[in-house]
């Protein structure tokens, strides 16, 4: 097998891992380690498409990996770095993904040095009224699913400096057992 064959096997493996979780509608809550695996598969696909364009940094608290989260909570945020943050056009582009558990909470964050988001867009996304490029579906979906499982005890925040960076933070209770739907009960 040559290098090209190895590369094709690697991208097929990444696609398989990515779609295995994405398309499984039977599962809505997973361990954080599975969410990390899902994001890594997505980033491997991005690296195949944009080789060497984005440096990745991971800050993962190992004690958080066996806690539970709603599935597909980080990947849409990372995808936004590429789709809306124009990260691949940046000279020294990087994305930092952090996951920490402390004081009974999980804090996940995605920081990128892409093009940033205007204050007006952040406000519209927070209020659920954004109608611009991409319509904010990813952010809205994550916020709604967090509220479904954690009610008012979860937070989803976006901070940004236009033209410089964006930081998206998710904060929710640390769960050693699978959380159940709270909203509507």
Q: Of 112, 127, 109, give the one whose Cα is nearest residue 160.
A: 112
- The domain ranges of the chain are 3-173
Say how many C-beta atoms besides its own lie within 10 A of residue 21's C-beta: 18
pLDDT at 137: 72
Q: How far apart are CA 32 and CA 38, in angstroms?
A: 10
Q: Of 69, 105, 77, give the one whose Cα is nearest residue 167.
A: 77
Query: pLDDT per position in the chain (185 positions), as tens?
Result: 776 667 766 767 666 666 666 666 666 899 999 999 999 999 999 998 899 999 999 999 999 999 999 999 999 999 989 887 688 888 899 999 999 999 999 999 999 999 898 888 888 888 877 776 666 678 888 999 999 999 999 999 999 999 999 999 999 999 999 988 886 55
Predicted model pTM = 0.86
The CATH number assigned to the domain with range 3-173 reads 3.30.565.10
């Amino acid at each position: 097998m040559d290098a090209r064959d190895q590369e094709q096997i690697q991208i097929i493996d990444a696609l398989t891992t990515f779609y295995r979780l994405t398309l499984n509608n039977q599962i809505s809550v997973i361990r954080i380690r599975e969410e990390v695996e899902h994001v890594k598969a997505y980033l491997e696909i991005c690296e195949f498409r944009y080789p060497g364009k984005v440096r990745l940094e991971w800050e993962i608290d190992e004690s958080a990996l066996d806690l539970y989260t709603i599935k597909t909570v980080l990947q849409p945020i990372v995808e936004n770095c590429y789709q809306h943050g124009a990260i691949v056009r940046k000279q020294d582009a990087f994305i930092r993904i952090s996951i920490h558990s402390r004081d009974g909470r999980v804090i996940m964050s995605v920081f990128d040095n892409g093009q940033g988001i205007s204050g007006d867009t952040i406000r519209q996304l927070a209020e659920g009224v954004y109608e611009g490029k991409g319509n904010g579906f990813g952010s809205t979906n994550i916020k709604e699913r967090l509220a479904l499982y954690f009610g008012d005890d979860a937070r989803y925040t976006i901070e940004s400096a236009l033209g410089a960076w964006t930081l998206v933070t998710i904060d929710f209770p640390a769960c050693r057992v699978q959380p159940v739907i709270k909203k509507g009960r």
